[in-house]
């Protein structure tokens, strides 16, 4: 099985490659990168005018499978991923039942392998049942394929529990992914606290709810020497806390979502529940800080927090609507928009959705090095298109970007050399 | 003036000219309420549903009386608890009511934005009778009406509003309404009851009652909800009353002819001393009386206003 991708602009940040090259794939692996490869009998894909990148890695996805398949499942979720140029998704454990035992981990990985259109790397629970009381069996979960541990959606409230979780996960060389939020400060809030929440009469969530917990978790990472990954940073303060901690040598990484670097709480003004998520959309100042964190390397990954919800869970009063939006199919154009707006270089942007999240989680993905698995996205960076929620591959249509113009998309996605999506 | 609004969702969407027009229309209806036969045929054949998801005596009765005096058929529905508790969504509840072809739904709901949500999904007119902590437009209009009645004008006056600003939909609507009509609005309350950025709506914020009411023309006291006592917001009703309650001594800081208002229901001895509540400066029952005329004007205008008379 030979496949030759001809004449594309190959961008592979790990190897500092950004030039027009041919890529030869043999038996699902990258065999050669060179100009003008003559591979005889290989199937040829003409990539002239396209960018050839490692397949994207989205390190924060809710696949909702098992148990909540009415929102999404492994088949539809990975199909959405493939359509977005994403070849690896890291899925959060707040399914039903939750992923706190080997049986669930194996269910996810085997279903993904048999029926999925992308690699699926599960995240296991920090605590059994996401209850914050007893540690999950992280060793066995890691052996079963879990790449990190999180009680995502819920913070680990108890300080000692978080400390022990970091120490214990470190035994198995796995990061703890923190959903950093002090729930006593959230206190029933449903959007960012500020002038907009005041005007709308919606209870606000102050930035301090995120910063306070981020600070605690960073202290605990510093204390234990373990690897902390802060999920979806959304405030100026939490970006700054991570920046300072990195300077001190603390093993901390973090991610940001496209909606947190593209939108502010002004978007909530019409009470549209497709702008309700957790953490909430913040102020313009916070957006600027997140962008600065992406530009200076403080933020290690762009991840979507893809959170599918059924229309019935969103078509309700704002205060009682579920949190979250889908994101897999808009990750690539929104990331490229930061290049267009000169926030990031193309190399930085690609790194934030490929090799850098791979580095955070120790995934052997996110590069086009010879010998690497041929997970590849062929991207038309200039194609203008308009998001139509009803046309999304995801089962759920809760996007913040319905009707918005985008620039750039994946025209073809390869998973270990096999085409899993083609436009 | 041609009043174009199909819905009354909040004061935010109304211009100074429109606000004045509503008040003038209410003026023309006020006299009906003192007649022997308190009824005009203006809205005969129209159906108005009062859909109340929160307990309300004053507002619901006021809307009902307003509708009846205009000869509309009014139906009251008290939906206890939120739609979620009932197991039916708000949209389904409203669509079922709409299937019976009402002309206007007057709704009170505990969720901010609920009236807008309804207006986006229904064909009939929606009038907001209070949505969460967002707006309470008919209250603000009856307050403005009462101020105009007693002061002859609104522009140039200083209005102090004191109490739980954060949780008050009355405040938000009043800030929009009074500032647009040219009054200066001052707010005061404990720090726990002052939401961030409220000044951007068009008002001054003070940390104590005295600064807010000094030389004010109007002092509006808000109800303090006793259930908030003990929550982190205030230590006790006793202490709240000491610093943010209005008594005769403190009232002397306001102008001599200042009027005292309250959207009701009042807590005697908490935000208002009984002496003030019953004193010569209080206009609380005028507010209630004017509420009917203002709501008649709102129902009349959203039902088609002047066009009705030409039919």
Give tens-digit pLDDT for B114-132: 999 999 999 999 999 999 9
Say which residue the tokens 């009354």 belong to. Answer: B8
Structural domains in chain B plus CATH codes: 11-136+288-304 (3.40.50.1370), 137-285 (3.40.50.1370)
Taking an 8 Å cut-off on Cβ atoms, the answer to whether B132 and A202 are in contact is yes
**What's the first-to-final CA gap in chain B, in angstroms?**
18
- pLDDT score for A278: 97
Query: Which pTM value belongs to this model?
Result: 0.94
Model confidence at B82: pLDDT above 60: no
Instruction: Please state the separation of Cα A153 from the chain's center in Å.
Output: 14
Q: Name the least confident of A20-24, A151-155, A294-298, A347-351.
A: A151-155
Residue B256: pLDDT band with limits 50, 70, 90 = very high
Q: Which residue has the tokens 């879990």?
A: A146
Chain A residues in contact with B83 (beta carbon < 8 A): 316-317
Q: Considering only CB atoms, which chain A residues are within 8 Å of B117? A: 271, 317-318
Active-site residue, from A65, A100, A305, A375: A305
The model's pLDDT over B276-301, given as tens digits with 9 standing for 90+, comes to 999 999 999 999 999 999 999 999 99
At residue B80 the predicted structure's pLDDT band, cuts being 50, 70 and 90, is: low
Chain B residues contacting A via beta carbons under 8 Å:
82-84, 89-91, 109, 111-114, 116-117, 131-135, 166, 169, 172, 195-198, 200-201
- Comparing alpha-carbon positions, the chain B residue that sits nearest to A272 is B117
Q: Which whole-number Å values give the CA distances from A415 to A30, A43, A412, B300, in the listed order?
A: 12, 16, 10, 65
Residues whose CB is less than 8 angstroms from the CB of residue B307 and which lie 6 or more positions away in sequence, other chains included? none
Rounded-to-5 percentages of helix, strand, coil across chain B: 45, 15, 40
For residue A388, give the DSSP letter.
-
pLDDT digits (tens, 9 = 90+) for A250-282: 999 999 999 999 999 999 999 999 999 999 999
- pLDDT value for B264: 92
Task: Give residue A40's pLDDT.
Answer: 87
Share of chain B above pLDDT 90, in %: 86
Task: Give the position of tokens 């709501």.
Answer: B295
The helix/strand/coil state of A220 is helix
Interface touch B133/A203, C-beta < 8 Å: yes
How far is B294 from B66, CA to CA, in rounded Å?
8
Return residues 252-291 of A near B (CB < 8 Å): 270-271
Average pLDDT, chain B: 93
Q: Which domains does chain A have, with CATH numbers?
A: 2-51+373-422 (2.30.40.10), 56-361 (3.20.20.140)
Q: Determine the average pLDDT of the residues in B17-23.
A: 97
| pLDDT band at residue B81 using 50, 70 and 90 as cut-offs | low
pLDDT at B225: 79
The whole-number pLDDT of residue B1 equals 78
d(CA B90, CA B108): 12
pLDDT value at position B121? 94
Whether the CB of A188 is below 8 Å from some CB of chain B: the reply is no
Which one of B83, B116, B133 has the shortest CB-CB distance to A271?
B116
pLDDT for A380 = 98
In a mutagenesis test of the B interface, which of A199, A207, A313 is the best target, namely the one with the most B β-carbons within 10 Å?
A199
Distance CA A357, CA A417 (A): 21
CB nearest B117 (choices: A194, A271, A312):
A271
Percent above pLDDT 70 for chain A: 100
**Catalytic-residue membership of A305:** yes
* CA–CA distance, A275 with A343 (Å, rounded to integer): 23
- Is the Cβ pair A202, B172 closer than 8 Å? no
CA distances from B151 to B22, B90, B231, B271 (A): 18, 41, 39, 24
Which residue, chain included where needed, has tokens 């530009």?
A295
- Under the banding of pLDDT at 50, 70 and 90, the label for residue A324 is very high
Task: Locate the DSSP E strands across chain B.
Answer: 47-52, 73-78, 104-109, 125-131, 158-162, 184-188, 204-206, 218-221, 259-261
């Amino acid at each position: 099985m030979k496949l030759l991708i001809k004449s594309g602009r190959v961008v592979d940040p790990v190897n500092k490659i950004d030039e027009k090259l041919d890529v030869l794939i043999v038996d699902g692996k990258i065999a050669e990168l060179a100009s003008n490869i003559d591979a005889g009998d290989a199937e040829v894909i003409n990539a002239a005018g396209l960018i050839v990148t490692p397949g994207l890695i989205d390190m924060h996805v809710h696949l909702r499978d098992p148990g909540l398949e009415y929102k999404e499942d492994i088949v539809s979720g990975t199909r959405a991923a493939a359509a977005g140029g994403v070849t690896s998704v890291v899925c959060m454990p707040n399914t039903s039942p939750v992923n706190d035992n080997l049986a669930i981990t194996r269910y996810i990985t085997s279903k993904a392998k048999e029926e999925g259109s992308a690699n699926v790397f599960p995240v296991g629970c920090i605590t059994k049942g996401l209850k914050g009381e007893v540690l999950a069996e992280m060793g066995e979960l890691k052996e079963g394929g879990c790449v990190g541990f999180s009680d995502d959606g819920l913070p680990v409230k108890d300080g000692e529990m978080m400390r022990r979780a970091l120490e214990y996960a470190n035994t198995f060389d796995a990061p703890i992914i923190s959903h950093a939020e002090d729930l006593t400060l959230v206190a029933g809030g449903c959007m960012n606290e500020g002038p907009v929440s005041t005007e709308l009469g919606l209870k606000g969530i102050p930035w301090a709810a995120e910063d306070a917990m981020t600070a605690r978790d960073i202290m605990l990472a510093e204390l234990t020497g373990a690897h902390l990954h802060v999920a979806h940073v959304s405030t100026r303060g939490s970006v700054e806390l991570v920046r300072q901690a990195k300077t001190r040598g603390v093993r901390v990484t973090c991610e940001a979502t496209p909606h947190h670097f593209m939108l502010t709480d002004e978007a909530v003004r019409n009470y549209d529940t497709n702008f309700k998520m957790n953490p909430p959309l913040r102020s313009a100042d916070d957006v600027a800080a997140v962008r600065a964190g992406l530009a200076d390397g403080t933020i290690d990954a762009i991840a979507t927090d893809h959170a599918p919800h059924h229309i019935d869970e969103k078509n309700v009063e704002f205060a009682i609507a579920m949190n979250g939006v889908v994101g897999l199919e808009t990750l690539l154009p929104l990331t490229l928009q930061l290049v267009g707006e000169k926030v990031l270089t193309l190399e930085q942007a690609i790194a934030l959705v490929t090799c850098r999240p791979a580095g955070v989680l120790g995934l052997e993905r996110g590069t086009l090095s010879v010998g690497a698995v041929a997970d590849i996205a062929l991207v038309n960076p200039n194609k203008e298109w308009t998001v139509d929620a009803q046309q999304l591959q995801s089962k759920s249509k809760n996007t913040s970007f319905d009707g918005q113009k985008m620039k750039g998309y994946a025209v073809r996605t390869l998973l270990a050399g096999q085409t899993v999506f083609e436009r | 003036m041609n009043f174009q609004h199909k819905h009354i969702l909040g004061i935010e969407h109304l211009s100074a000219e429109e606000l004045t027009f509503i008040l003038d229309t209410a003026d023309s209806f006020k006299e009906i309420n003192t007649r022997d036969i308190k009824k005009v045929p203006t809205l005969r054949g129209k159906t108005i549903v009062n859909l109340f998801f929160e307990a309300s005596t004053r507002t619901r009765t006021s809307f009902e009386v307003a509708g009846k005096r205009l000869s509309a058929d009014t139906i009251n529905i008290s939906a206890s608890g939120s739609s979620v508790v009932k197991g039916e969504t708000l949209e389904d509840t409203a669509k079922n009511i709409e299937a019976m072809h009402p002309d206007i739904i007057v709704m009170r709901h505990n969720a901010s934005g609920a009236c807008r949500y309804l207006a986006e999904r229904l064909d009939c007119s929606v009038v907001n009778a209070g949505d969460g902590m967002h707006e309470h437009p008919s209250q603000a209009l009856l307050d403005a009406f009462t101020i105009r009645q007693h002061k002859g004008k609104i522009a140039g006056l200083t209005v102090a509003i004191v109490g739980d600003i954060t949780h008050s939909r009355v405040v938000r609507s009043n800030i929009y309404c009074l500032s647009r009509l040219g009054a200066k609005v001052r707010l005061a309350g404990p720090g726990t009851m002052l939401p961030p950025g409220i000044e951007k709506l068009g008002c001054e914020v003070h940390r104590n009652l005295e600064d807010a009411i000094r030389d004010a023309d109007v002092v509006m006291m808000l109800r303090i909800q006793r259930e908030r006592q003990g929550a982190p917001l205030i230590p006790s009703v006793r202490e709240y009353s000491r610093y943010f309650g209005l008594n005769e001594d403190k009232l002397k800081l306001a102008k001599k002819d200042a009027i005292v208002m309250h959207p009701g229901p009042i807590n005697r001895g908490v935000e208002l001393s009984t002496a003030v509540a019953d004193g010569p400066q209080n206009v609380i029952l005028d507010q209630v009386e004017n509420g009917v005329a203002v709501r008649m004007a709102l129902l009349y205008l959203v039902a088609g206003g002047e066009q009705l008379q030409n039919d």
